[in-house]
């Protein structure tokens, strides 16, 4: 079993259209459901997993792709922004690979995000 070092953390800035080139990453029967803009790339929810593309380096030509199958998620929690001064909502995922924290910037509907995870994990 692979274990991530520390807590893996991503920040999602806004919902965005599903990138055209994501189809190259999908397997037969897998469909992209929603996408979110990250600092330099995107996070894509499919009906089978969460894919996070992370452009790296000065030019952004090096891209690391994280693929989190929903079957590896044991538990999750969501926390909405509590007041007008709190601009982030947070999602925490406990997985077989470790603990993952996802920060949602103001404007992202945390309950829609929560429903995406619930649909993926509980509709089996």
CA-CA distance, 32 to 47, in Å (whole number)? 7
Q: Where in the sequence is the domain holding 67, given as residue range(s)?
A: 8-122
* 2 in any annotated domain: no
- In a 13 Å sphere around the CA of 32, the CA atoms on its Cβ side amount to 19
pLDDT tens digit string along 6-36?
A: 568 889 999 999 988 888 899 999 999 999 9
* 60 in any annotated domain: yes
DSSP 8-state symbol, 26: P
CA-CA distance, 119 to 122, in Å (whole number)? 6
pTM of the model: 0.81
Per-residue model confidence (pLDDT) at position 83 = 59
Average pLDDT over residues 73-100: 83
Q: Are 4 and 98 in contact (CB under 8 A)?
A: yes
**Overall domain count for the chain:** 1
* 15 in any annotated domain: yes
* 24 in any annotated domain: yes
Per-residue model confidence (pLDDT) at position 120 = 87
CATH number, domain of 48, equals 2.30.29.50
Structure tokens at 79: 């926390």
Average pLDDT over residues 86-108: 87
């Amino acid at each position: 079993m692979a274990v991530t070092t520390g807590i893996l953390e991503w920040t999602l800035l806004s919902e965005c259209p599903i990138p055209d080139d994501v189809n190259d990453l999908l397997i037969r029967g897998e469909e992209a459901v929603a996408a979110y803009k990250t600092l330099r790339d995107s996070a894509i929810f499919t009906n089978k997993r969460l894919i996070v593309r992370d452009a790296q380096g000065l030019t952004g030509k090096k891209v690391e792709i994280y693929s989190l199958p929903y079957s590896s998620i044991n538990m999750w929690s969501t926390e909405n922004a509590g007041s007008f001064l709190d601009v982030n909502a947070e999602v925490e995922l406990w997985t077989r690979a470790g603990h993952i924290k996802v920060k949602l910037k103001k404007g992202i509907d945390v309950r829609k995000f929560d429903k995406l995870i619930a649909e993926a994990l509980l509709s089996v």
